[in-house]
Amino acid sequence: MLMNPNELNKTLSKLPLGEIKYFESIGSTNDEALAWAANDAKDLSLVIADEQTAGRGRLDRKWFTPPDTALAFSLILRPTEDERPHLPRIVGLAALAVTDALKARRLTPQIKWPNDVLVLGHKVAGILVESVWSGEDIDCVVIGVGINVLKGSVPPEEVLNFPATSLEDELGYPPDRMEVLFEFLDNLITLRPRLSTDEFLNRWAESLAFLGEQVQVELGDQPPVLGQLLGLESDGSLRLRDGHDKTVAVRFGDVRLRPLT
Ligand code: ATP
């Protein structure tokens, strides 16, 4: 069933959001949100679409959002002065808002650093954080989120290089998209004031997939880094112990995390 914009507005009116733009179909919610953010969007404004025809993952990889089945939205944050030093943590904030919504449904989600959420080793959600700059400073952050809610949202296997699933597949019943959206936003708003704390960083690190395990991080055209996944640095970089017992930090960028098989 298509999303009902009246129901959307009514459900979300309980949250302290900015404005909401709903599209039955759109290229990419992040593109729309970036343009709006560069203009006059208020903090916590939301772009949401029933379908994306050109949804993006990182590095212009494609994110698949067929109609009527998934959640695809972009939330605009205007960071406060206190938040500015911690902007690299925003991807963790969004990932934890997803995992908390899934835990409330008794699933056991994990975060595949830096930007995916897994359930039992299958990707159920992806996050794409992008920024609007004003000179040297970040003016706005756009948090793009795609969640596979119903079975039909899972892309065909041949387009995937990591296994995927949906909430419906994992739960055994079709959850309500609007409820999942509400919970994500509510969780994010609740967690946001803790962004700078060690408690936040620890929660994020504890939620990582492959913690303590041997992993491989593919780094674009450079040789991959192999090591034991130890946790996170303060800026959200991934901390590994390499084969020489040395601690190395891997930054966000053209990276792909894989278990070492
Ligand atoms: P990987 O997941 O392979 O480590 P990545 O983290 O760089 O790579 P993302 O940018 O998070 O990938 O997402 C893009 C990739 O996710 C696509 O290349 C595609 O394989 C896969 N994908 C696209 N749409 C979906 C979806 N709805 N559910 C699960 N996976 C998807």
Reported as a single tens digit per residue, the pLDDT across 207-259 is 999 999 999 999 888 888 999 999 999 999 999 999 999 999 999 877 899 99
Atom of ligand 1 nearest to the CA of 114: 6
Is the CB of 175 inside a 6 Å radius of any atom of ligand 1?
Answer: no
- Best of 73, 116, 127 to mutate for ligand 1, by most ligand atoms within 8 A of CB? 116
Q: Is the CB of 113 under 6 A from ligand 1?
A: no
Residue 261 has pLDDT above 80, yes or no: no
Q: How many angstroms separate the CA atoms of 147 and 72, rounded?
A: 7
Kindly report the number of other CB atoms within 10 A of residue 157's CB atom: 8
From the list 57, 85, 216, 40, the residue with the least C-alpha distance to 144 is: 57
Cβ–ligand 1 distance for 36 under 6 Å, the answer no
Q: Please tell me if the CB atom of residue 63 comes closer than 6 angstroms to any atom of ligand 1.
A: yes
- 222 residue type, one letter: Q
Phi and psi angles of residue 209, each rounded to the nearest 5 degrees, phi first: -70, 150
Q: pTM (2 decimals)?
A: 0.97
Q: Which of 39, 34, 32, 36 lies closest to 53, judged by CA? A: 32
Whole-number pLDDT of residue 195: 98
CA of 184 to the centre of ligand 1 (A): 20
| pLDDT tens per residue, range 64-78 | 999 999 999 999 999
